[in-house]
A = this chain, B = another copy of it.
Amino acid sequence: MAERFEEDALRAVGVRIDAEHPKGIIFDPHQPQLRVTDLGAVRGDGIFETMLVVSGGVRKFAPHLDRLRRSAEIIEIGLPPEESWRAAVELGLEEFRTRRGLPEEISVRLTATRGVDGEPASEDPRWSGTYWVLLTPVSESMQAARGKPISVMLLDRGYDSTASARAPWLMLSAKTLSYAVNMAAYRWAAKHGHDDVVFHTSDGQVLEAPTSTLLMLSHAEDGRPQLTTPTLRTGILPGTSQGAIFAAAQRKGWGLRYGPITPEQLRSAEHAWLISSVRLASPIRQIDEAQMQVSESYTQQLMEFLAEDLALTYPREV
């Protein structure tokens, strides 16, 4: 019984949204839900966002929704209104509460696809595709891994720094489902003994990691900490966690900078991290063969920035 109890508590919850269910309808993610003709499955033709729920409060709901909307505009698919996504997330959380109490942390993934080829789900373009929310309790191993120093491998992303600007059809700044290259980069790094990847352009600018944002810290001449993250002009994703950290750090008087960054500058930073919504801040201890200094206190500070950022947190409605 105890085992069964735990299993149920850890099971993911799915919520579909469509024109008939604008506030969402629960489904069991262990059962088939998608047709094989859904363009999300046929061609990775869709978009997603992953965010973190802590104690029933969704972190950075608005920035994630903004980025989802931006991705939808770039790939030109319809998207249900924000209140539907909010209602669907709330419905999923309520399902956990009803079942046996809310897990302390839940990872929430919003997905939107172009729908089934030639068969729009609705005449209304806002509902023409396939939309769902998947809520998965964050595993203990993931929680334990947070803040642990990592080794990263620099890998060429194949594009130069101007590709995004001159070739908008590459949609570099949309968060699409077409993530096969990101996954291949992870496998490549793992085979070479590293934990993660930092991509760089073919002309030598560091970009981002396959599923997180790069952040560097050094001290300005006046002694203030200064955070630097790669410029968005290369077409990398604007990081919602990086945005929340910048907002909190600014309130504290830290310096902030977006810039083109070379691998050499990255290695010369006092400290560097990979930042993402669920894994939070992972300090980089090694870049290829080069060692980096890890700061436990600054790592802790970044985690606190992400937790304190109430202005960007969607409050739990009970």
- Give the interface of A toward B (CB within 8 A): 12, 14, 29-46, 48, 75-76, 111, 113, 132, 134, 155-160, 163, 166-171, 174, 176-185, 187-188, 202
Q: Which residues of B contact A38 (CB under 8 A)?
A: 34, 41
Q: In the complex, A113→B41 CA distance in Å?
A: 9
The reply to whether A41 and B40 contact each other, CB–CB distance below 8 Å, is: yes
Nearest B residue to A156, CB-CB: B167
Give, as a whole number of angstroms, the nearest-CB distance from A112 to chain B. Answer: 12
The reply to whether B37 and A41 contact each other, CB–CB distance below 8 Å, is: no
Q: In the complex, A70→B137 CA distance in Å?
A: 37
Q: In the complex, A273→B99 CA distance in Å?
A: 60
Interface of A is mostly: mixed
The reply to whether A167 and B177 contact each other, CB–CB distance below 8 Å, is: no
- Across chains A and B, which 6 residue pairs bring their CB atoms closest together, nearest first? A44-B44, A178-B178, A43-B179, A178-B180, A158-B163, A34-B34
Contact of A155 with B167 at beta-carbon distance under 8 Å, contacts A36-B111, A41-B177, A44-B43 already known: yes
Q: In the complex, A41→B12 CA distance in Å?
A: 16
Copies of this chain, complex-wide, total 2
Q: Which of B43, B156, B160 contacts A180 (CB 8 A)?
A: B43
Give, as a whole number of angstroms, the nearest-CB distance from A239 to chain B. Answer: 19
Nearest B residue to A159, CB-CB: B158
The reply to whether A35 and B36 contact each other, CB–CB distance below 8 Å, is: no
Nearest B residue to A109, CB-CB: B42
The reply to whether B159 and A43 contact each other, CB–CB distance below 8 Å, is: no
Q: Which residues of B contact A34 (CB under 8 A)?
A: 32-36, 38, 41
Q: In the complex, A117→B302 CA distance in Å?
A: 30
Give, as a whole number of angstroms, the nearest-CB distance from A123 to chain B. Answer: 19
Q: In the complex, A41→B176 CA distance in Å?
A: 11
Q: Which of B35, B134, B163 contacts A29 (CB 8 A)?
A: B35
Q: Which residues of B contact A169 (CB under 8 A)?
A: 155, 181, 184-185, 187-188
Q: Which residues of B contact A178 (CB under 8 A)?
A: 43-44, 177-181
The reply to whether A36 and B44 contact each other, CB–CB distance below 8 Å, is: no
The reply to whether A167 and B171 contact each other, CB–CB distance below 8 Å, is: no
Q: Which residues of B contact A44 (CB under 8 A)?
A: 43-44, 176-180
Nearest B residue to A34, CB-CB: B34
Nearest B residue to A167, CB-CB: B156
Give, as a whole number of angstroms, the nearest-CB distance from A216 to chain B. Answer: 24
Q: Which residues of B contact A29 (CB under 8 A)?
A: 35-37
Give, as a whole number of angstroms, the nearest-CB distance from A62 to chain B. Answer: 24
